[in-house]
Structure 1
Amino acid sequence: MADGQRGMAVRLLWGPPVTPARGPRRGLTLEQIAAAGVGIADAEGLGGVSMQGVAAGLGVTKMALYRYVPGKAELVALMVEAALPEPGGALDVALAGAGAGWRERLGVWARELLEGYRAHPWVLDATVGARVLGPREVGWLERALAALEGRGLSGAEAMDVVVLVAGHVRGIVEQERASGGAGGVDAELGAVLGEVVRERGDDYPALAAALGSQAVHGGQDQGLEFGLERILDGVGLLVERRARS
């Protein structure tokens, strides 16, 4: 995002409210514009979003839309802000029910973030690279960092923990999207590997044993929880080490 776009995105996301400087007022709000873009992205993906398409959905001309939002980069920034769940709503309720432990709080945070991405998978594409974060996205970051306060971690370490957890969540949703939904990754991989083992199991005895154990004891579709728990195990060791030092 260029400097000029970044400055406009900051203004659109953080205020003050934008009023068209010229032309007839059509009564549009940034919330309406963002919602129209989100609707298109939910149906067609981020690549299906255009200023022309959003304008048509709102019943205005593209030139009228430009009076509110100068381009697609700023439009997408507004869409991300609109698509993310409000961090002070269901998340805070869930956190209150999870108790005061940092581990439980980060676990709830990760699961709520997962549901947000699942509801709007295109947000994954829209939240890469250097860009402007809106109040909701910053609010999510704030809550994750607050869970780690007083644990002896430096600010940089706390940020790295949040990035690591968020990256794990993003990876799970990316896999789900590529395979057509939750559970699809394990189902597809299991089918392929099962065929390999049936035909050449003697060449891959460890794989055959793992798949056999999985068939008996279960354990599929645990990618999020298994990875999250291992990440938090590692953070817990670091927290303990700092407490002793």
Structure 2
Amino acid sequence: MKEQPDLPADVALMWGLQAVTRRGPKPSLSVEDITRAAIGIADAEGLSAVSMARVAERLGNSTMALYRHVKSKDELLVLMSDAALERPQPLPDGIDWRTGLVFWSHGVMTAVRAHRWYAQLPISGPPAGPNNLAWLDSALGALKDTGLTEEGKVGVVMGLMTYVQGEMRLSSDLAAGYADNPDAFSRYGATLARVVDPRQLPALAAALAAGVFDDSASSFTDDSDADFDFGLQLYLDGVAGFIARMTG
């Protein structure tokens, strides 16, 4: 039988499968304690406030005590990225694939909005933690009756994850920019009117003349779902065409 490779250290931590080699009394700290404390700091003060020293202080331990469980801040961020994304709600019974993926997508956005810092986390690899994989499984389950191959289902879900992640991060960045300088957003249409030459940028000039950017400031909040839903439906229209082509 082929020997199975060792799990990456961060994956083993997220699943509670790290090797235990210590002797003596049970440690007073756990990976879960450390991750929970880090999330509490990020919720209260933002992701930039999280450090091993701050987490140790919050827990009343030395920084070295943390390093016995979590080797680095990068490893801690991976743990936070999974723990903060709570398990998905079960898909409602009897719904079609499209309704299921809409339900799933809004569930992801609700989960990450509970932690405003989530969109700032680096993406260091594909989903591998228990919570992230539960979300992946849920989305794949929405496609179970479509007739798609397993490869096709994974492709659809990975594309949807790319869209949701992109919207989450873009809306978070724009909301932060709006908070810092709302005038730049409220004046966006007027600014374009001053610099857009219809001879050079005819398509943009047409959108500007149609008033598309007249109220641009109203959409720059990460709690507004109108733009998110518009793009989501466009993506799902493409998925519908893909399903018809693959199964027709």
> So what's the TM-score if we normalise by structure 1?
0.78
- Alignment counterpart, residue 232 of structure 1, candidates 211, 224, 236: 236
Alignment of 1:96 onto 2:92: yes
Distance 1:146 1:55, change over 3 A: same
Of residues 133-142 and 26-35 in structure 1, the stretch that sits farther from structure 2 once superposed is: 26-35
Q: Is the 8 A contact 2:38 2:55 kept in 1?
A: yes
Structure 1 counterpart of 2:231, one-letter code: G
User: Quick one: distance in 2 between partners of 1:179 and 1:36?
Assistant: 28
Deviation at 1:36, TM superposition (A): 0.6
- The whole-number CA distance in structure 2 between the counterparts of 1:193 and 1:7 is 47
Query: What amino acid is the match of 1:207?
Result: A
Higher relative contact order (CA 8 A, sep 6+): 1
2:3 maps to none
- For 1:29 and 1:74, the matched residues in 2 are separated by 14
Gapped regions of structure 1 (runs ≥ 5): none
The whole-number CA distance in structure 1 between the counterparts of 2:122 and 2:131 is: 13
Residue 234 of structure 1 and its aligned partner are, at CA, apart by 0.7
Which residue of structure 1 lines up, in the alignment, with residue 43 of structure 2?
42
Change (3 A) 1:163 1:45: farther
> 1:85-124 residue pairs with structure 2 within 5 A?
85-87=86-88, 91-92=89-90, 95-96=91-92, 99-124=94-119
Residue 154 (structure 2) aligns with? 159
Q: Aligned residues, how many?
A: 231
- Structure 1: distance between partners of 2:130 and 2:121: 16
What is the DSSP-based 3-state SS (H/G/I as helix, E as strand, rest coil) of the residue aligned with 1:68? coil
Change in 2 beyond 3 A, CA 1:133/1:119? same
8 Å contact from structure 2 (residues 120, 169) kept in 1 = no
Change (3 A) 1:202 1:63: closer
Contact 1:22 1:67 (C-alpha < 8 Å) held by counterparts = no
Corresponding residue SS for 2:8: helix
Measure how far apart 1:51 and its partner are. 1.4
1:116: how far off?
Answer: 1.6
Alpha-carbon distance between aligned partners in 2 of 1:26 and 1:213, rounded to the nearest angstrom: 58
Q: Judge conservation of contact 1:19–1:68 (CA < 8 Å) in 2.
A: no
SS in 2 for 1:211: coil
Tell me the distance in 1 between the aligned counterparts of 2:60 and 2:102.
43
Distance 1:80-1:208 versus aligned 2 partners, 3 A rule: closer
Which residue type is aligned with residue 211 of structure 2? L
Closer/same/farther in 2, CA of residues 14 and 104 from structure 1, 3 Å limit: same
Q: 1:189 to 1:182 in 2, by over 3 A?
A: closer
Distance 1:73 1:79 in 2: 10
Using the alignment, how far apart are the partners of 1:171 and 1:189 within structure 2? 22
Q: What is the CA deviation profile of residues 131-175 of structure 1, one whole-angstrom value per residue up to 9, with x for unaligned ones?
A: 662111100000101111232323333222212222222222222
Q: How does 1:26-65 map to 2 (within 5 A)?
A: 27-65=28-66
Task: Give the Å deviation of 1:14.
Answer: 1.5
- Provide structure 2 residue ranges, at least 5 long, that are not aligned to the other structure: 1-5, 199-203
CA distance in 2: counterparts of 1:27 and 1:210, whole angstroms: 64
Alignment correspondent of 1:72: 73
Bigger Cα displacement from structure 2, 68-77 vs 223-232: 68-77
Tell me how far apart the structure 1 counterparts of residues 126 and 19 of structure 2 sit (CA, whole Å).
20
- Deviation of the 1:183 alpha carbon: 8.9
Contact 2:189/2:213, CA 8 A, preserved across alignment? no
**TM-score, normalised by the number of residues in structure 2:** 0.77
Contact 1:36 1:58 survives alignment (8 Å): yes
Q: Distance in 1 between matches of 2:77 and 2:236?
A: 32
Q: Percent identity?
A: 34
Match of 1:141 in 2: 136
Residue number in structure 1 paired with 2:13: 12
Question: Over aligned residues, Cα RMSD in angstroms?
Answer: 3.4
Aligned partner letter, 1:64: A
